[in-house]
Amino acid sequence: MSDSDLISLYSGRILELAADIPHHGRLPQPQATVRKRSPLCGSTVTVDVVMEAGRVTAFAQDVKACALGQAAASLLGQAVLGRTAAELAAGRDALRAMLKSSGPVPPAPFAGFEVLTPARDYKNRHASILLAIEAAAEAASSADAAQKNAGDA
């Protein structure tokens, strides 16, 4: 990777996002927790969620990732509250398509992921970028399913 590639990939906006991750930490009593790790780079993200009426009402994330993974977690943190498990899954799928298949930028509320389009050409970075939203989608789905099962009991 050349110096000019690094400058393009690690833009000022990406570094700003990486330095300011909303909802950083852990929840005291989450309904679901999911930890994801990228075996390629060792980045890890642990996500805690609480769902009410099918929507994320509390969220926390412990992020140990590169600047791109941190920036993705920051963008997720800005959009996650109030989302359903299905919306998070759709955002995850749209981000994956943007990175891996040169798909369009994810729609609102995930349009901020556009800042990560320069990472399309760096496949070794995709896993770290996807960690937070993958963990959030899985945790929301798990919490939602547990709530529905508890309601059926």
pTM for this predicted structure: 0.91
Q: Which of 17, 4, 9 is nearest to 126 (CA)?
A: 9
The amino acid at residue 141 is S
Which residue would you say has higher pLDDT here, 9 or 98?
98
User: Using the 8-state DSSP alphabet, how is residue 113 labeled?
Assistant: G
CATH code of the domain occupying 3-147: 3.90.1010.10
Report whether pLDDT(6) > 80.
Answer: no
pLDDT band (50, 70, 90) for residue 118: very high
Report whether pLDDT(75) > 80.
Answer: yes
**pLDDT per residue over 76-92, tens digit each?**
999 999 999 999 999 99
**pLDDT per residue over 91-115, tens digit each?**
999 999 999 999 999 999 999 999 9
Report whether pLDDT(151) > 80.
Answer: no
Q: Which of 89, 93, 90, 104 is nearest to 145 (CA)?
A: 89
